[in-house]
Amino acid sequence: MENTKLRRRVLATATATVAVGALALAGLTGVASAGPPTATTPAVSADSLSPGLLAAMERDLGLDADAAKSRIAAEYRAAAVAAGLEKSLGTSFAGARVSGNKADLTVSTTDASEAALITKAGARAEIVGHSLDRLEAVKDALDKAALSKAPKNVPVWYVDVEANRVVVNAASTSAAEAFVKAAGAGDKLVTVARSTEQPRALADIRGGDAYYMGGGGRCSVGFSVTRGGTQNGFVTAGHCGRAGTTTNGVNQQAQGTFQGSTFPGRDYAWVATNANWVPKPLVNGYGRGDVTVSGSTPSVVGASVCRSGSTTGWHCGTVQQLNTSVTYPEGTISGVTRTSVCAEPGDSGGSYISGSQAQGVTSGGSGNCRTGGTTYFQPLLPALQAYGLTLVTSGGGNPTTPPTTPPPTDQPGGTWAAGTTYAVGATVTYGGATYRCLQGHTAQAGWTPAAVPALWQRV
Residues marked as catalytic: 239, 267, 348
- CA distance to 130, 262, 323, 337, per residue, from 266 (Å): 27, 6, 11, 12
Residues 6+ positions from 436 with CB-CB distance below 8 Å: 400, 425, 426, 427, 456, 457, 459
For the chain, the straight-line distance linking the first and the last C-alpha, in angstroms and rounded, comes to 31
188: left (phi over 0), alpha (psi -120 to 50) or beta: alpha
**Which amino acid, 229?**
G
Which string of DSSP letters, residue by residue, matches 151-173?
A: PTT--EEEEETTTTEEEEEESSH
Query: What does the alpha-carbon distance between residue 97 and residue 75 come to, in Å, rounded to a whole number?
Result: 10
* Residue 51, Cβ density class (10 Å: 0-12 exposed, 13-18 middle, ≥19 buried): middle
Residues 6+ positions from 330 with CB-CB distance below 8 Å: 201, 239, 263, 264
Residues 6+ positions from 161 with CB-CB distance below 8 Å: 94, 95, 96, 97, 108, 132, 301, 321
Q: Is the dihedral of CA 297, 298, 303, 307 positive or negative?
A: positive
183-205 in b/e form (b: 16+ CB < 10 A) is bebeeebbebeebebebebbbbb
94-116 in b/e form (b: 16+ CB < 10 A) is bbbbbeeeebebbbbbbeeebee
Cis peptide bond N-terminal to 264, omega within 30: yes
